Structure 1
Amino acid sequence: MSEQSGTTARTGTTARRIVLVTGASSGIGEAVARELAAAGHHVVLAARRAERLARVTAEITGAGGSASTAVLDVTDPQAYARVVEAVVAEHGRLDVLVGNSGVMLLSSMTSLLTAEWDRTVDVNVKGVLHGIAAALPHFLRQGSGHFVTTASIGAHEVVPTAAVYCATKHAVWALMEGLRQDLPPTVRATTISPGVVQSELAQHITDPVASAGMVEYRRSAIAPSAIGRAVAYAVGEPGDVDVNEVVVRPAAQRP
């Protein structure tokens, strides 16, 4: 794990927290990392692409924030546990886990892209479970912690070509709600459900029908910084306030 730090760019009454953000090399994860660093927290950016992580971290620290990096594939539970252990060993604690890694491999069910179905479940669902398993023992031991997980507006609706994707996001919503009910009140759980957001997700769709449909659907996409601000709001609330879910979507998104 590599670390760089600088003068905090923005301060307030919120205590400085140690935050691990997955999927932080681009899109929503990058925006969340930038927003939380700007709020004065130390952010550990985790993803598979080391070069992208290094670039974003350098920009955060150049702006006065505190950040470090960890290369991580969330589908590997042992690797996830090692990253969390390393954060705790270096900083003495982990306060927030932002589980943001995800894929959006849309396709018609009739296309039978079963390898993509498996990949979607592995990243979007199992990746969340691996994060919970890695971080929860530390949260329970230290008597505090906060899980923030990115679901989607797809957790609340199903549209053509998105059956598997929406199923995984429904699962994330259910996991987070069940987790919240099982946790002691000192450990919080927040689900962030974005609508259409500017990101790389649609670039990885291989189904031509689904890919074409995304062109029009994504015309009203909002900047990922909007999601970053939502996460910062949930994290910044006092410990006795649990922001359970935030839905953030373009004003023009209908439905």
Structure 2
Amino acid sequence: MRKNILITGASSGLGAEMARQFAAKGHHLALTARRVEKLQELRAEINMAHPDIHVVVHALDVNDHDAVFAVVEQCADDLGGLDRIVVNAGLGKGGRIGTGKFHANRETVETNIVAALAQCEAAMGHFYERGAGHLVVVSSMSAMRGLPGSVTTYAATKAAVAHLAEGIRMDLMKRKGHDIAVTTLFPGYIASEMNEGVEQEVKLMVDTETGVRSMVKAIDKEVGDAAVPGWPWAPLGQVMKHAPLGIVRRLI
């Protein structure tokens, strides 16, 4: 069992719900985010429901790359090692390319790619030292194709982190005598703080608890990659990958 789990971006949404569900399964937790007061509230909630679970919290802006390495090391010290690290922190800002939204698009790239790289570097360094561990990278179904409008940059960043995780997984194939796994998750539409401001109804949206339950199930199985929830996103992902662009445009 991967007992000790670090989750970045754990102050709300998918990260916070993963913390709740992993705590219910008996995992000790290291939770990081910029909003440490939210983490403290979550820790109190988890400790009330599961008093035997050890939860540590640390403020972390993942765009402070030196802090990423320092906080991962501190969390490992707090819990006596980390067995699983979930690279969950992300950003969904953006605008259609060429409409003056460069700064928002750049911020999304910096958070979703460069900061994710820092988290992967810190995680894998720890796992290589231990000879064991499980890296989980949260991508998105939007990674399946280039997408238009305000999600063009976001989709591109999620494709990038999926390839990053796959490259790490391929590296591990060349290594012997380790117990290190890499999982890439491709969530579909799961209700979270990131999308709660969307006014129009989003087709196929599931509630946070249901969506995260499917994420946790895939993580526990340590699959290489998974569309979550599997239905309808696994078949839809294949359509998005291979259908002509015009059809994909109508789907979204």
C-alpha deviations, 1:152-177, integer Å up to 9, x for none? 01110233211111110110111011
Question: Taking structure 1 as the reference length, what is the TM-score of the superposition?
Answer: 0.82
Quick one: which amino acid aligns to residue 194 of structure 2? L
Distance 1:167 1:16 in 2: 31
* Cα distance change on mapping 1:192 and 1:34 into 2, 3 Å: same
C-alpha deviations, 1:104-150, integer Å up to 9, x for none? 11321131311111110111111211111112121011110111111
Quick one: which amino acid aligns to residue 183 of structure 2? T
Question: Taking structure 2 as the reference length, what is the TM-score of the superposition?
Answer: 0.83
2:199 to 197, 215, 220: 215
SS in 2 for 1:171: helix
Q: CA deviation at 1:44?
A: 1.0
1:139 to 121, 124, 127: 127
1:170 to 121, 137, 159: 159
* Cα distance change on mapping 1:147 and 1:16 into 2, 3 Å: closer
Asked if 1:195 is matched to 2:188, the reply is yes
Distance 1:120 1:217 in 2: 24
Asked if 1:116 is matched to 2:109, the reply is no
Q: Give 1:28's aligned residue.
A: 14
* Cα distance change on mapping 1:160 and 1:21 into 2, 3 Å: same
Larger relative helix fraction:
2
Asked if 1:19 is matched to 2:8, the reply is no
Q: CA deviation at 1:69?
A: 0.7
Aligned pairs, number: 228
Higher RCO, 1 vs 2 (CA within 8 Å, ≥6 residues apart) = 1
C-alpha deviations, 1:158-199, integer Å up to 9, x for none? 332111111101101110111100124521111111111111
* Cα distance change on mapping 1:215 and 1:83 into 2, 3 Å: same
RMSD: 2.1
Q: Which runs of 5+ in 1 are unaligned?
A: 1-14, 205-213
Q: Is the 8 A contact 1:16 1:42 kept in 2?
A: no
* Cα distance change on mapping 1:202 and 1:146 into 2, 3 Å: same
